[in-house]
Structure 1
Amino acid sequence: MGHQDVQRSLLQALLEAPGSTEGWELFLRQLCDAFHGSSAKFIVHSLASGDAITANVSVMVRTDPRAIEEYQQHWYQHDPWRNAMSPDVQAGLVLVGDQLISPDRIRRTAFYNDFGHPYDTTQCLAGILEISPRLISNISVNRDDRSPRFDTADVDLLDALMPSLRRAIELHRRLSGAELMAAHALEMLARLSHGVILMSATGAVIWTNRAADVVLRARDGLTLERGELRGATPSVTARFRVALSGAIAMSKGQTLDAGETVLSLPRASGRRALSVLITPLSAIHAALIPDEAAAAVFVDDPELIKTPDADAIRALFGLTRAESELVHCLVAGLSLEAASARLGLRSQTVRTRLKVVFQKTNTHRQAELVRLVLTSAAALA
């Protein structure tokens, strides 16, 4: 199979990955085969608090579960590839382990002899998916020493996949909260706090959820005219149509690159721009959404924040009623002092209660807690 055929096959598997662990595992197996690897995995390196760094292997294939446990509990801190990575590394970059540390040097490490060699993880090819002050996530393929070293052709292939990989991760996050694999997928989409608009292969709107209806009725930045979406100006509309055409072409297998799919749509009112993600839909979604849908448009209005229901917060995170009421106040934008006043409690009582909430939700700061709730299934309630 030629390079272009391998890339096309991987991109097709990637189209079907968002929304389910099974889809990602299928993609990782194909990725592992394409690179003649011994294993493949997604890893999130999280800076939990201070210097306490943790690693979470989100999805893995062909990996001994004991290796994952050992890596997360001990070897992560001694990973020579991670430790050799520049602090200025950028999202989208593809790295080869041999470029970070030479094979001769790594063979002299305990990591190689006590972990890498026993688990056939002595070579590494990785792509940086996300990077922020709180985390670095990557996708990696490993080989053993019996296999050829990763070379320029391997780097080029993974590099070509990176834009689509990063879009797929973003789409997965938006879809996973709605549990799209459930029988009532459209009902789940309807309840998403993100605006969702399903588009036909001709670029016509065929379905919208409630959040999208609110945006479209406002006619400020994105409007629906004669079945088509338009921006505030002709030039914005043109950019939107180019992006939508690329996503539709990719869903049909006519192109390997959807082009620009994340847009900022300015608004005539002067309010903050709408954020739009346009993504192709594959055949796997036929049982979940209308057959004629070829692309999805996700719309976020930064001026609108939906506050999840306190009962939903309590059920999802295992909080008491009093704790969930406090979280509800914080997510609504209240300060601790304002929350104390609304709940009729002393400030010290609220601070103590918040510490318990941090423990139950595995968060460490108020902003982190609010983000967790707003991006969880509680926002669907």
Structure 2
Amino acid sequence: MPRLDVDTVMSTIDRLLVGAMDEGQMQAAAEAMRQLFNGSKACFAGIGPHPDDWASYATDPDEALQERCTGELAPDFIEMGGTLRDIPYGAIYRDHEVFGAEALRNSRVWQEWMRPQDMFGGLACRLAGNGQAFWLFDVQRGRHQEGFDAEDAALLEKLYPVLRRVVELRRHIGRVTIQRDEARGALDRIAIGLAILDQDMRITYANEGADEILADPDGALRLRQGRLFARQPADQRQLRQLVEGALRSALDPLAHHQASMILHGEDGSHSLSACAMPAPPSPAQDQAAGQVLIALRRLETATNLVACARQLFDLTDTEAKFASALASGSSLTEAAEAQGVRISTARTHLARIFQKTNTRQQSQLVSLLRSAELPLRPR
């Protein structure tokens, strides 16, 4: 092979590292390796006995052939993978040496997949594995090219640590991305706003519900340079105390602190309930830094206690009417008479209301409804 300069090799390594961090750049990384080895085709591939183990980042991918690879040719690829499984990681091998030149040329994989892509001689190495599944890098030379020589093998051997690291990063980041996207998708489906704040009230994450609340120009909350602010000054002081209390409770779970509050909009109406709790730190986060999860929920007009109770605690319409009557000063007997039900039925409704609102006494329920607080489950 022609003598390579250091800049060319380093440029290729840069492309590999970019691909490790961004899946969309892995094909470009494979192309950089193809050019480095003057090959006809290059590929990072995941092989294993189960389709979930399969992956491919190849130069100039042929979609029709890729479908055959994971379809009718899949058993042949699994069998080939079993042959490669005994090769040590980092050991450089040539296709024809492992499978036998004649056996390889007679195989369906070569006849129907490799030959149509001008893959007449391959140089490869296994990079990383998990059980029977593993990743490899493979570069091919075409029909009219010279085969790989000792210098090519030596270069691939030197690049092996970089290639292995690229695959390990890609696998790890891929798992994190899937978990992150699934989590965000689930949070976006929740009918309340969820936001994570740091100690300086900066938002580090907000789901779709929180984005909608913060985008309301007349709402009770707004952003200033990435920090969360309440529209009313009195609410801002209480919001800051809410966040500080949640941060303290992360260090001392038994410490008492205010867990929720009502935030007022431009016209002074009760527009949002906010409930704060410590957010678990991410693996990369300083444990001492601390973050707070705030749950935000729009409230209907505070005077409509039936709608408020229904919205906050998922009460049925009948349960909400009982709860509203009690919060307005009626006794259970009076509430039962107003609803036209027996006192025993009223007690059944009250028991369900206690369960849903996480209260035990009628006085606690009345206090809770009058302040429209969101209760936290006890630890």
TM-score of the pair, normalised by structure 2 = 0.43
Q: With CA pairs under 8 Å and 6+ residues apart, which has the higher RCO, 1 or 2?
A: 1
Q: Which one has the largest radius of gyration?
A: 2
TM-score of the pair, normalised by structure 1 = 0.43
